[in-house]
Amino acid sequence: MKLDRLTRHAALVLATLLAGCTTYVTTQVTAFSDWSGSDATRTYAFTRTLDQKNNLEQATYEQIVANELALHAFRQTDERDAHYLVALAYGMRSDTVTVAQPVYYSPWPGPYYWGRPFDPWGPWGPWGPYPTGYVNQSYPVYTHLLGIRITDRATGKEMYNVTARNTDEESSLIAAMPFLARSAMSDFPMANGVVRTVKLPVDGKGGMSNEVAADSAAPPVPASGAKTVQ
């Protein structure tokens, strides 16, 4: 019947559009910088607090950050030979978000198409949607945080301090860490006081995609300025 063909066509179009969509992880990055180093002096060693010593989680995150530092000509070495010391801070916080969701009234019992009733007055019908009210639904969200602090080993002077923060419905910090590290080190070194947003594409397995990041490029700004890239 005609309605059946139209419904099949609409479902095919919707599936095609969804297949072409790219999911991104959006991270807010804040940097404070007094960077004056050169590639020749970018040797570093990780430094740890007492709680971070002999810690497998710390070692795992250090390796992720080390991979990003290597993209900017940093070379890891023994602490006595390092020009810089790199310290990490990280954590996760859980919150609850409440969203008002519309409730639809469906007076039509059928027919059904692919497990969904066709309701001409509902959100899937040509004359909808007509919400009869709203109900509050609460969802857990998790904020993941990574801080990277680079200091001059000889003087103790802070050279670069960057913080990356994102929010997701997934609680895993280890899953978020590659996105946090890549975002934190994007366009290193950023100018002092820069606040920007980095969007990194996600692959089909939930990991970081090799596609080009969206809205990740920021024009240079003066060291004393602050700029937000949306």
pLDDT of the residue at 16? 36
pLDDT of the residue at 85? 98
Structure tokens at 129: 């949607």
Percent of the chain with pLDDT over 70: 67
- Contact of 146 with 175, CB cutoff 8 Å: no
Where are the domains positioned within the chain?
23-201
pLDDT of the residue at 102? 76
- Mean pLDDT, the chain, whole residue set: 78
Confidence band of 41 (pLDDT split at 50, 70, 90): confident
- Residues 144-171: tens digit of each pLDDT: 999 999 999 999 999 999 999 999 888 9
SS3 83: coil
Confidence band of 180 (pLDDT split at 50, 70, 90): very high
Average pLDDT value for residue range 42-54: 95
Q: Any idea which fold 23-201 has?
A: Double Stranded RNA Binding Domain (3.30.160)
Confidence band of 106 (pLDDT split at 50, 70, 90): low
pLDDT of the residue at 128? 53
The winner for highest mean pLDDT among 87-91, 130-134, 165-169, 216-220 is 87-91
Q: Residue 190 — φ and ψ, nearest 5°?
A: -75, 160
HSE-CB at 171 with a 13 A cutoff on CA atoms is: 6
How many whole angstroms separate alpha carbon 138 and alpha carbon 160? 38
Question: Whole-model pTM?
Answer: 0.69
- Residues 128-145: tens digit of each pLDDT: 555 567 888 888 899 999
pLDDT of the residue at 204? 72
How many whole angstroms separate alpha carbon 36 and alpha carbon 192? 12
How many whole angstroms separate alpha carbon 149 and alpha carbon 76? 15
Look up tokens 């969200």; give the residue: 141
Size (the chain), residues: 230
- Flag whether pLDDT at 28 surpasses 90: yes
pLDDT of the residue at 203? 80
The winner for highest mean pLDDT among 11-25, 127-141, 185-199, 207-221 is 185-199
The residue with greater pLDDT, 119 or 197, is 197
